[in-house]
Chains A and B, each alone.
Chain A
Amino acid sequence: MTLTFRNVHVTYPGSDRLALRGVSAEIAAGQRVALVGRNGSGKSTLMLVANGILRPQQGELLLDGRSVRYDRRSLAELRRQVGVVFQNPDDQLFSASVYQDISLGPLNLGLSQAEARARVLQAAELCGLGELLERPTHALSGGEKVRVALAGVLAMSPRFLFADELINGLDPWMRRQVLHILERLSASGCAVILATHDWGLAREWADYAIWMDAGRVFRQGKPQTVLSGPECPD
């Protein structure tokens, strides 16, 4: 399975500035992709396009070679395959308890209560949340909120997971735990696309890197090649 951005151009409503200018890239199942670039380079916008929240004004998004349509049914299918974990976990936890919050995605996909329950327990186990299921979401620590947000998306069993600066601000222990979850996901065949400012991590962890600059793909390819040279910040 592949997710392809073909010459994608995006402008936010009410703005003249192009947030993405002709981005082309292809991500395959099981890949570990590091998405790097300055603040405002278009990384988060690319994630919104991948999930169908933003529709390109020019260019197209292809899922497994087929152009994505933006009707209700196609969007539901796209969101079943492509999950996004946003930068601020507080903005994506809606429900009163962890258990209920994780169940939101599977029920939105139309799964039965029994199936949704199984998905919730599976995602909670993967993210080490077994003990926290009854806890109210507002009473969690920052690292726990990140893992709950991640579990909420994983319960939808996506084939592509976009994580927007997921490990920023986490302590080294929590960071290792989250990276371990991402590794297990990747090993299970899910493509993980991690937007990060940690270039060292991008070189070590990823098997593919996309460097974005001013809404364009500046370079992409093997991390050791792409993330080296005098333009690199480190």
Chain B
Amino acid sequence: MRQIDSYAHSNKLSRLHPAYKAGCSLLALTLCLALDHPTVSLLITALMLALTVGWAGLPWRFVLRLLGAEGGFLLTGVLGIAISVRLSFDQAGGLGPVQIGVTAESVQQALHVFLRALGGAAALNFLALTTPAADLLELLRSLRAPATLIEIMGLTYRFIFALFDSLERMTMAQEVRLGFADWRNSLRSAALIGTNLFVEAFRRSRALETALQARAWTGSLRVLPREYEHLFRR
């Protein structure tokens, strides 16, 4: 997650107005879903990969690894489509009435769903890898999304990383005291870390409120928008 965030801030398109990138990503996603054809899905996957690597300048190894991980996850999902399990009392075999089978039709359907989802994932990867979270929030703000929703999203984004840091520190503190030496200790340490993390999140929310008040908070988290680059002269 940190790596995705880091690339979102350092790629060649990071200063480009997020509307272009969101538009490109959503168009690809819509085409993938609406045309619903394996060839289109494959083409869109290839195109989005090319844009992410060629246009945004991200390392192809990382982009492929990310898509590969998502593909692996999708594969486990489509297995259920490819393999059919049914009950038949007419032809009881080795597994009794349960029949497990793979048909050419079910495999084709699974592949179809897999490619469509992969195309969608590639399209969203392009957006996530090229656009900082702050810009996405800014885009939502300009699209008149509810302010409270945007503020909650912004704070969640900010505090995910703060809690990650706390989690790392707590885990290290447990490790140096042999907290993960065996299975039993590991379970106990995980429970303790979970509890402490909850308390830490609560403490942080109190401290956050105090710090907000100190900066003359008026009830909404208003911040200045960034200045973006545009594809066309305005």
Chain A contact residues, CB within 8 Å of chain B: 48, 51, 53, 75-76, 79-80, 83-84, 86, 88, 90-97, 99-101, 103-105, 107-109, 113, 116-117, 120, 134-139, 152-153, 156
Contact = CB atoms under 8 A, between A and B. Distances in A.
Given A92-B215, A97-B226, A136-B132, 4 more contacts: A53-B214, A76-B218, A107-B223, A107-B224
B230 interface: no
Nearest to A82: B214
B217 A108 contact: yes
B134 A97 contact: yes
Contacts of A83: 214
Contacts, number: 106
Interface string B188-226: 000000000000000010011011111111100111101
B58 interface: no
Contact of B223 (A86, A103, A138): A103
Contacts of B215: 79, 92, 104-105, 108, 152-153, 156
A108 B212 CA distance: 10
A138 B158 contact: yes
Contacts of A96: 132-134, 137, 154, 157-158
Contacts of A116: 224
B226 A99 contact: yes
Q: Which 5 A-B pairs have the closest CB atoms?
A: A96-B134, A138-B161, A91-B207, A92-B211, A100-B223
B224 A86 contact: no
Given A53-B210, A136-B5, A152-B215, A94 B221 contact: yes
B222 A135 contact: no
A94 B207 CA distance: 11
A48 B223 contact: no
B158 A117 contact: no
Interface string B162-177: 1001000000000000
Q: Which interface class (under 10, 10 to 19, 20 to 34, 35 or more) fits B?
A: 20 to 34
B6 to A, nearest CB: 7
Interface in B98-123: none
Nearest to A52: B213
A106 B173 CA distance: 40
Q: Is the interface of A mostly helix, strand, loop or mixed?
A: helix
B34 interface: no
Given A84-B214, A86-B214, A97-B134, A139 B6 contact: yes
Contact of B155 (A88, A94, A104, A136): A94
Given A91-B208, A91-B211, A100-B223, A156 B134 contact: no
5 contacts: A48-B210, A83-B214, A91-B204, A94-B208, A99-B226
A88 B165 CA distance: 14
B9 interface: yes
Contacts of B224: 99-100, 103, 107, 113, 116-117, 120
Given A99-B226, A117-B224, A136-B132, A94 B6 contact: no
Contacts of B214: 51, 53, 79, 83-84, 86, 92, 153
B206 to A, nearest CB: 9
Given A94-B155, A96-B133, A108 B222 contact: yes
Contacts of A136: 5, 9, 132-134
A97 B132 contact: yes
Contacts of A139: 5-6, 9
Contacts of B207: 86, 88, 91-92
